[in-house]
Amino acid sequence: MWINRYKPQNMNEYVGQKEAVDTFLKWIKNWKQGKSLLFHGPPGTGKTCLIETFSKENNYEFIEMNASDFRSKKEIENVLGQSMKQASLFGKRKIFLIDEIDGLAGRQDLGGVGAIIQIIKESRFPVVLTCNNPYDQKLQTLRTYSQLTQFKKFSVFDIERHLKRIAENEGVVIDKEILRQLSKRSEGDLRSAVIDFESLGRSKKEIKQNDIEVLSYREREQNIFDALRMIFKTSTALSAKLSINNVDKDPEEIFWWIENNIANEYEDVEEIAKAYDILSKADLFRQRIKSRQNWKFLAYMIDLMTGGVAVSKKEMYKKFTRYQYPSNMIVLGGSKIERKEEKERLLELSRQLHCSTRKIRKEFLPFFKMFPQYQ
């Protein structure tokens, strides 16, 4: 994919963020144990890319971890604890990157932030953290062990310059004014700009005005309809996956939105069948998450339900589709009050009978419903 093909190979090719680069280079040169560097800023501003590029150019062993993949204290210590204390097998210097550290700010993380702080104190190697909002109250203690470094949105000119280089290398003809429009649409997100450019330029050698109109302006708090449009219209799995990053909805809810609208978007029966087949595999991981509480499966679920569905089509449909609210959620919404009342009755029975609500629902409820006083 172009987002990987055109990653900078050295620091001279790294685009923009001069202040952040200078801060990082000074910090890494004078690094002392017990202090991390906390990169913060919007998605697509080069936070992870900077560490990757520096490591590649300076022969560091680069070890990356996404905080949302390892939520508990035990998992974090198992994955990173020993590695941060031991020298590299190949004698290389190491640098650690923990992405999306604000993903550890929830109550369910069972000491995850505390484990990261302990690792920063004990690590024999530099540790860099990334997040979108470092001023979350739950990250207050972590901030005392970190030097904050801001990454700002890329300028239109930086993005335009990068896209122009890609166009020349790929042999894509694009007018300067259209290139400027494409750069503006990304709203300072270089990664999004490259993904959009690839979705238009990979299948054709000349991009015209009507091609760019297929793409919608991104909103930082993206709504579900924009995300669905990206999933169903894009031709790349990565673009589809990234489309839900800023949607303020649970992945399971997004799953049902996709399930309900496949047949509205796709017209070829083979494409519809393929999309639903892939979505059924995502559903298997969804069920395993619920039954086993193993959140590692979430990454597979998201990949399949977004990227898998996106690449099920043979080509993009250039039509307007009115996406519909999931029918099962309409039913659930209509019965919300009844379900709440039933849950309260189950809890009361649970306290009286000293057993779980699940046992009552499965074993006792069918009999209780035979008595008028329960109705």
Instruction: Tell me how many degrees the CA angle 102-228-266 measures, rounded to the nearest 5.
Output: 150
- DSSP code at position 216: P
Label residue 193 by pLDDT band (50, 70, 90): confident
Position 107 scores a pLDDT of 46
Q: Poorest-confidence range of 45-59, 234-248, 281-295?
A: 234-248
In a domain, 6, yes or no: no
pLDDT (average), residues 208-229: 64
User: Is this prediction's pTM over 0.75?
Assistant: no
275 closest CA partner among 313, 237, 240, 235: 313
- Pair 343, 323 in one domain: no
Mean predicted confidence (pLDDT) in 153-171? 83
**Position 12 in a domain:** no
Dig out the tokens for 61 from the structure. 């062993």
Q: Are residues 339 and 327 in the same domain?
A: no
91 band by pLDDT with thresholds 50, 70 and 90: low
Between the alpha carbon of residue 89 and those of residues 54, 124, 128, the distances in Å are: 20, 15, 21
Residue pair 108/71 in contact by the 8 Å Cβ criterion:
yes
Residue 248's pLDDT is: 67
Question: For residue 168, is it within any domain?
Answer: yes
**Of the residues 150, 179, 203, which one is the last residue of a structural domain?**
150
Backbone angles phi, psi at 146, to 5 degrees: -135, 150
In a shared domain, residues 257 and 298: yes
Residue 197, domain extent:
155-218
Query: Could you tell me if 127 and 185 lie in one domain?
Result: no
- Check whether residue 270 and residue 199 sit in a common domain: no
Residues 146 and 41 in one domain: yes
Contact 193, 186 (CB under 8 A): yes
CATH number at residue 22: 3.40.50.300
Whether the per-residue pLDDT at 71 is higher than 90: the answer is no
Residue-wise DSSP of 77-107 = IIIIITTTTSPPTTS-EEEEEEE-GGGG-SG
Is there a single domain that holds both residue 27 and residue 142?
Answer: yes
Same domain, 182 and 161: yes
Paired residues of 207 in beta bridges: 174
Quote the pLDDT of residue 221. 40
pLDDT at 40: 86
Given this model, what pLDDT does residue 337 score?
A: 62
Examine the domain organization and report whether 233 and 212 are in the same domain: no
Helix 156-170, helix 190-201: angle, nearest 10: 30
List pLDDT tens digits, range 108-151: 444 667 777 877 887 778 888 888 777 877 778 888 888 888 88
- Supply the mean pLDDT for the chain: 77
Average pLDDT over residues 29-52: 83
Query: Residues 116, 130: contact at Cβ < 8 Å?
Result: no
Q: Does residue 5 fall inside a structural domain?
A: no
CA dist., res. 328 & res. 164, Å (int) = 46
pLDDT at 2 exceeding the cut of 70: yes
**Are 43 and 139 found together in one domain?**
yes
pLDDT of residue 217: 47
Q: Is residue 58 part of a domain?
A: yes
- Rounded CA gap, 9 and 180, in Å? 25
Identity of the highest mean pLDDT range in 57-66, 228-237, 257-266? 257-266
User: Which of 103-107, 140-144, 283-287 is the least confident region?
Assistant: 103-107
Asked if residue 120 belongs to a domain, the reply is yes
Question: What pLDDT does 308 receive?
Answer: 92
**CA–CA gap between residue 163 and residue 295 (Å, rounded):** 36
Average confidence (pLDDT) over 59-86: 66
Total domain count, the chain: 4
Q: How far is CA 217 from the centre of its chain?
A: 19
Which of 67-81, 146-160, 342-356 has the lowest average pLDDT?
A: 67-81
Last residue in a domain, options 131, 150, 169: 150
CA atoms of 184 and 156, how far apart (whole Å): 6
One-letter amino acid for residue 288 of the chain: R
**Quick check: is 175 in a domain?**
yes
Q: How far apart are the first and last CA of the chain?
A: 59
Confidence at 355, pLDDT banded by 50, 70, 90: confident
CB atoms within 10 A of CB 209: 10
Q: State the DSSP code for 371.
A: S
DSSP letters for 248-296: -S-HHHHHHHHHHHHHHH--SHHHHHHHHHHHHHHHHHHHHHHHH--TT
Model pLDDT, residue 283: 93
The tokens describing 1, both together, are 């994919």
Asked, for residue 213, whether it belongs to a domain, the answer is yes
Examine the domain organization and report whether 66 and 179 are in the same domain. Answer: no
pLDDT band at 305 (very low <50, low <70, confident <90, very high): very high
CATH number at residue 187: 1.10.8
pLDDT above 80: residue 269: yes
Judgement on whether residues 344 and 308 belong to the same structural domain of the protein: no
**How confident is the model at residue 105, as a pLDDT?**
47
